[in-house]
Amino acid sequence: MAEAVSFADLWVPFCRKHNIEPRNPESYFALKIDPTKNKSWSDSVKDRRKIKREYGEFKVKINGLPDSIRRRFGAFNAKEEMKMLKHMRESVADPTEPLKVIKATWMADGTH
């Protein structure tokens, strides 16, 4: 959500400034015609290029989130397992008892 808010801080003022409707960046950048054609303002062309670049970066970040999340909770789970093993070695727990580690997942209910 933070990435969406960050992009919206750029996108919404751009839409207001250039009277863009509908305000869907995917459909706006997919237009076959150039919306800046025959515009007398050079800043509108610069604005469009900047926003298009920012939108591309936004999509890359969003599309990379599942892998990033998977790596983060994998690292977290490994760290928690190491803590639990250290704790078991230091305590007088039964070594035959299976190791119970609560693993981090994507959602609170354990689903991805």
80, 47: one domain: no
56 and 89 in a single domain? The answer is no
Task: Give yes or no: residues 59 and 80 share one domain.
Answer: no
3-state secondary structure the chain: CHHHHHHHHHHHHHHHHHCCCCCCHHHHHCCCCCCCCCCCCHHHHHHHHHHHHHHHHHHHHHHCHHHHHHHHHHHHHHHHHHHHHHHHHHCCCCCCCCCCCCCCCCCCCCCC
Asked whether residue 85 falls in the same domain as residue 100, the answer is yes
Q: Are residues 49 and 77 in the same domain?
A: no
pTM, rounded to two decimals: 0.60
Mean pLDDT of 14-26: 88
- pLDDT band at 45, cuts 50/70/90? confident
Q: Are residues 6 and 58 in the same domain?
A: yes
Are 30 and 50 in the same domain? yes
Number of domains in the chain: 2
CB 84 within 8 A of CB 101: yes
Q: Which of 59, 57, 73, 61 is nearest to 105 (CA)?
A: 73
Q: Are residues 19 and 43 in the same domain?
A: yes
Residue 37: pLDDT over 70: no
Range of the domain at 17: 2-63
- Residue 18 shares a structural domain with residue 58: yes
